[in-house]
Amino acid sequence: MNNFESLGLSKKLLQAVESEGYTTPTPVQEQSIPPLLAGRDVLGVAQTGTGKTAAFALPVLQVMSRSIPQGKRYIRALILSPTRELAAQIGERFSAYSENLNLNHKVIFGGVNQNPQVRALQKGLDILVATPGRLLDLIGQRHIDLSRVEFFVLDEADRMLDMGFIRDINKVLKLLPKRRQNLLFSATMPSSIADLAGSFLNNAVMIDVSPKEITVDRIEQKIMFVRKADKRRLLVQIIKSQKVKCGIVFTRTKHGANRLVKQLDQSGISAAAIHGNKSQGARTKALAGFKAGRIPILVATDIASRGIDVDGITHVFNYDLPNEPESYVHRIGRTARAGRSGIAYGFCDNSESGYLVGIQQLIEAEITVDDSHDFHFPGAIPKPGQRPGKIKENKSQKKKKSFDNKKPRSGADKKPNQYKRRSNNNSRGGNNRKPREGNNRTSQGGNRSNRQNNRR
């Protein structure tokens, strides 16, 4: 198959696809659309930027448009998303694809007044795109009824679990009717996601768009060894010398993102931060300025960046190397979109060399070293035979690690899981990580705080 017509889409959806400028389906679209149109459950392993929103939105719209209920509309499709930005992005795609269809949708998330959302729900709608926190809030207020949902889509499932939403997901699943079609998309497939998939997918078609194949095409990757104290000056030097007009900088923490924005501003570089502690208004303003070109540099954390979908990003800076190799793939995948080329820099200090080892094992390639800068630090180069992961832990970190490794309380018996894949040495440690389900009062409180800080 090499065109959308061969996938079995209706004329109205083909017109919508053409209006959006799509000519050839991406691998995830080509593999997902036919089984979804045939009524099958689908488990998709694909990252942002692969066209996965269209992969589920188009077949959902087509099937729903075949039978329009009389009278007041009710929720027939539920799409659950981890972040506000990603939910809004999905809503925009549904608006574009359903322009010629008699279907309506609404996006709901936290951080904004709920009254307009409640009014839309009271009028009736066909498709609901939601973040877990606001969804459960409105369910608790009896504004939402999920008893007649026909399609359930869980998007970015790995981030859902990383953000502590596993209990919220299970609450939602209990409210859905047993007879429905399911789709789960995740950028990675650790054992926790395989367990989740096995709990509600039925004889699903599995689709795997390998991150390794996505990363290398048209992206020039460079690693720079530098002391941690020199990272800011190195970043400023590159941005100014290359006159970067559209770049994204990844930091490990929200505080680090805020601090870096202030430092860039002091150096005469306009930048904005986007992360879970920012208000919805501030995040929307930052994204709008970045997309419009008024803000050339966006500083983001991994979770918040999931909703960023901008084709013109030319530079990606891994200011802090990610401790999970797959996050590196997601980060650099922000550039070189829509047939363009891009460049991805990684700043590696002496505490991050183990992370670099893990990244290179995952992508099965050695990243080109650029030592032609003023801050080259040989002490950050990985040692021969070095293992992936963190270099060393202090005592408090070791205690925390042993505490986190306690097994969660066993729940109800699960179905035999046909979705688990063999682990390999190139996969991240997260493959053995269990979802944070609140093993004790401390972790429960932390998860609630995490959900409140990131409630979308």
140-187 residue pLDDT tens: 999 999 999 999 999 999 889 878 899 999 999 999 999 999 999 998
Q: What is the mean pLDDT of residues 213-242?
A: 89
H or E, element range at 186: strand 181-186
pLDDT in the model for residue 424? 46
Instruction: Show me where the domains of the chain are located.
Output: 5-204, 213-380
Q: What is the mean pLDDT of residues 292-317?
A: 85
Q: What are the pLDDT digits (tens) for 91-120? A: 999 999 999 999 999 999 998 999 999 999
CB atoms within 10 A of CB 427: 20
Tell me, yes or no, if the two domains 5-204 and 213-380 fold the same way. yes
Class of domain 5-204: alpha beta
d(CA 2, CA 389): 41
420 vs 147, which has greater pLDDT? 147
| One-letter identity of residue 299 | V
Would you say residue 270 has pLDDT above 70?
A: yes
User: What is the band of 435 on the pLDDT scale with cuts at 50, 70, 90?
Assistant: very low
User: What is the band of 417 on the pLDDT scale with cuts at 50, 70, 90?
Assistant: low
Answer yes or no: are the C-beta atoms of 254 and 275 closer than 8 Å.
yes
pLDDT in the model for residue 333? 82
Q: What is the mean pLDDT of residues 232-254?
A: 96
Answer yes or no: are the C-beta atoms of 158 and 188 closer than 8 Å.
yes
Class of domain 213-380: alpha beta
3-state secondary structure of 287: helix
Q: Which residues 6+ apart lie within 8 Å of 389 measured at CB?
A: 323, 354, 355, 357, 358, 429
**Residue showing tokens 């109205």:** 12
Angle at 318 between CA 316 and CA 320, to 5 degrees: 160
Q: What are the pLDDT digits (tens) for 319-354? A: 999 988 888 888 888 887 766 789 999 999 999 999
